Structure 1
Amino acid sequence: MGTNGLNGLRPSSKNTNKDVQDKVDTAAANVVSTSRVLKPGIFAPIPTFFLDGSEDLDLKSFATHVVRVAKAGVGPLIAGSMGEAIHLTHSERTTLIQTARHALDDAGLTDVPLIVGTGTGSTRETIQLCKEAAEAGADFAIVITSGYFAGALANNRKALKAFFVEVAAKSPIPIIIYNYPGASGGIDLDSDLITELAEECPNTAGVKLTCGNVGKLTRICATVSDPGFTSLHPRKNANAPFLVLGGFIDFLVPSTYANAHGAITGLANVAPHTIAKLFELSENTLQDGSLLPEAQRLQGIVARADYTIAKASIAGTKSLLQKLYGYGGNPRKPLPPFEPEAFKALWNHPHTQELVKVEKELSGKLKA
């Protein structure tokens, strides 16, 4: 894969946005509606990178990273939780979408779809963000439940359902339901509600379960992964099947056997080749049981690393990217930077080192 490994695609030391922005402005005028296919697999919530001092968008590093993960076989998700969507303006989201789309197209990755986070406080603004995302070149939106008024919404099933029904009906692009209690005031959508939305809302294209509930995933898959589901509940867009995606990567092998469709995982930013390989192995075990021990071995490495690195959150992930690829930087304030001593402990942790070793091997950078 050429420049696809740990040392490839390093941005210029000048770290300027001008060249990238000029290309984006030209491409934005020519954006056309596309219908890229949403396929089972691994997706990475791409961090948003900021320039030191100003906290302006670092578009060069962002474009570099989007292409890096996509070349490894991982789909990019823009302006999600890892992307600090809550810290972005509408115009910044648009700029990131246009930058990502242009970078992918320029790299010959024209078939790679863009998933974009559009969840926010109100139903009205969420719908507006879906429209703006579509206009900027997004193929799919991922929508989190608003958690600011969780006290009023958490036990109001009717209101929760109405939110997703209205957003799905009015969004120009298919939406993915994002169930993340940790970022939505503790609101945790149950399997019955998610299944109902899949059945009744033809413009839904899946769910991300960052609740980590394998039982919930199994129950949803029992309906939506059934061969007859699509004929009974056809999608508005035939290229947008309803995918059930884990929000963590530590149970990918078990979820494969529940007929799930992959995962959206922050760890795929750090080790995209490894996570893509794990998905490939997991899927192939369904036809060749002899591959299961290797899938389980790699799942163990990934699960241990995910447990260790996820606790470092956004700042820790960015610090690892800085160490591995030469870009990363700090989150936007008020999120604090990752302290040097904490990073030293994270980098030297055996779980991290084991993952880095596998990633180097799979990306072709480890010399024999």
Structure 2
Amino acid sequence: MTSNGVSSYSSRTTRSLTPGIFAPIPLFFVQGVRTSVYLRSIELHVVRLAGAGVRPLLAGTMGEGIHLTHGERTTLVRSARNALDGAGFSHIPIIVGTGSGSTRETIVLCEEVAAAGADAVIVIPPGYFAGVLSSHRRALKAFYVEVAERCPVPVLIYNYPGASAGIDLDSDLVVDLATSCPNLSGIKLTCGSVGKLTRIAAAVADPAFDKLYPRKNPNAPFLVLGGYADFLTSSAFAHGHGAITGLANIAPHALVKLFELSEAAATRDPSRLPEAQQLQGIIARADFTIAKASISGTKFLTERLFGYGGLPRKPLPPIDPEDAERLWKHPHVQELLKTELEFSDEQPL
């Protein structure tokens, strides 16, 4: 028996969660229709990204998870899994957003998507009652403890104050959760705090962590992931594990290249640092510009680049046509797209 009950673990084996780049997949609709999910576009997109080395996250913020019915969510998972398997990417894991307004529904969603083929879930704090929860650490911890204990697959924490009514988990609470819950297997930090990432990653990187607090699933170590692409290089030097970033929908090869360069510079070849820094600048500028256009801007860009995108589900507004053209022509965007073309046929480091 281990110190945190790992020997009692009986959940199914999942595909390995490893450091790298993950993309929150947008929710594509039938052209001109904001109610009918276009599964074929989602299937094409996850396979396209997998070919570049990017793993999918379904039903997250970019994927308008809050707008999905239970049935739509599980259908997305099954479709993506079938598409990846059919294209020779059966080893690629799928993460699915299951955060909800209550502990009960969150657990139900976890069970449903696990049965549909999800390899892990990512859970945002329930923000409707943020006035109570944001200052109630015991309640926030209890939420994640119960979800992690009852979820049949590994659970990642999703720290995004902008989508959870300001709830912002601090590094002390996250480390406490990591050491208390063996089925927690990472965190996405869309708070943008490099300091928080550094503190959490330092705790996880400590050689004693894995010995004292092993994960229930050995294929799912605790990953510390940024929510943006603008500090990937810094993250690598702070023992971070990559990012879950919407920008990977637009430039997957460039993001994977930056991750590889940053890891190489931090762990085995310091001479790669200048190359990583140069690419990080291009990606950071594009990330800043495209993120301001939000979900509708990213979907406009995928439409322009790949032929699928569509409108967001109501009440989210579509991007204004003039704003869309300005986004497309923006020098930061064009610089990124040129860079993506340069890396699209390169072999990994």
Q: 1:248-294 CA distances to partner (integer Å, 9 max, x unpaired)?
A: 11001011111010000000000000000000000111211111000
Pairwise CA distance, 1:364: 3.8
- State the partner residue of 2:296: 315
Alignment-mate amino acid for residue 64 of structure 1: L
Pairwise CA distance, 1:227: 2.1
Alignment-mate amino acid for residue 251 of structure 1: F
- State the partner residue of 1:66: 46
Q: 1:38-92 CA distances to partner (integer Å, 9 max, x unpaired)?
A: 0000000000101123621100101000101111001100000000001100000
Pairwise CA distance, 1:34: 4.4
- State the partner residue of 1:349: 330
- The 3-state SS of whatever aligns with 1:148 is coil
After TM superposition, the structure 1 = structure 2 runs for residues 262-277 of structure 1, keeping only pairs within 5 Å, are 262-277=242-257
- The 3-state SS of whatever aligns with 1:337 is coil
Does structure 2 conserve the Cα–Cα contact (< 8 Å) formed by 1:47 and 1:318? yes
- State the partner residue of 1:112: 92
Pairwise CA distance, 1:219: 0.7
Is 1:255 the counterpart of 2:235 in the alignment? yes
Q: Which runs of 5+ in 2 are unaligned?
A: 1-10
TM-score (norm 2): 0.94
Is 1:169 the counterpart of 2:143 in the alignment? no
Pairwise CA distance, 1:221: 1.1
Distance, in Å, in 2 between the alignment partners of 1:50 and 1:35 is: 29
Distance, in Å, in 1 between the alignment partners of 2:86 and 2:117 is: 14
- State the partner residue of 1:36: 15
Q: 1:93-114 CA distances to partner (integer Å, 9 max, x unpaired)?
A: 0000000000000000010000
Pairwise CA distance, 1:298: 0.1
Pairwise CA distance, 1:33: 4.9
Does structure 2 conserve the Cα–Cα contact (< 8 Å) formed by 1:33 and 1:137? no
- The 3-state SS of whatever aligns with 1:44 is strand
Q: 1:183-217 CA distances to partner (integer Å, 9 max, x unpaired)?
A: 00000000000000000100000000000101111
- State the partner residue of 1:202: 182
* Alignment counterpart, residue 83 of structure 1, candidates 60, 63, 71: 63
Alignment length, in residue pairs?
A: 334
Structure 1 residues 148, 139: closer, same or farther in 2, change over 3 A? same
- The 3-state SS of whatever aligns with 1:228 is helix
Alignment-mate amino acid for residue 146 of structure 1: P
Does structure 1 conserve the Cα–Cα contact (< 8 Å) formed by 2:12 and 2:153? no
Q: 1:103-148 CA distances to partner (integer Å, 9 max, x unpaired)?
A: 0000000100000000010000000000001000000000000101
* Alignment counterpart, residue 284 of structure 1, candidates 249, 264, 269: 264
Pairwise CA distance, 1:325: 0.6
Does structure 1 conserve the Cα–Cα contact (< 8 Å) formed by 2:34 and 2:312? no
* Alignment counterpart, residue 332 of structure 1, candidates 303, 313, 328: 313
TM-score (norm 1): 0.89
Is 1:238 the counterpart of 2:214 in the alignment? no
- State the partner residue of 1:9: none
- The 3-state SS of whatever aligns with 1:334 is coil
Distance, in Å, in 1 between the alignment partners of 2:122 and 2:320 is: 31
Distance, in Å, in 1 between the alignment partners of 2:141 and 2:12 is: 28
Distance, in Å, in 1 between the alignment partners of 2:309 and 2:344 is: 20
Pairwise CA distance, 1:343: 0.7
Q: Which runs of 5+ in 1 are unaligned?
A: 1-31
After TM superposition, the structure 1 = structure 2 runs for residues 136-151 of structure 1, keeping only pairs within 5 Å, are 136-151=116-131
* Alignment counterpart, residue 361 of structure 1, candidates 339, 342, 345: 342
Alignment-mate amino acid for residue 283 of structure 2: V
- State the partner residue of 1:50: 29
Pairwise CA distance, 1:225: 1.4
Alpha-carbon RMSD: 1.2
Q: Percent identity?
A: 65
- The 3-state SS of whatever aligns with 2:340 is helix
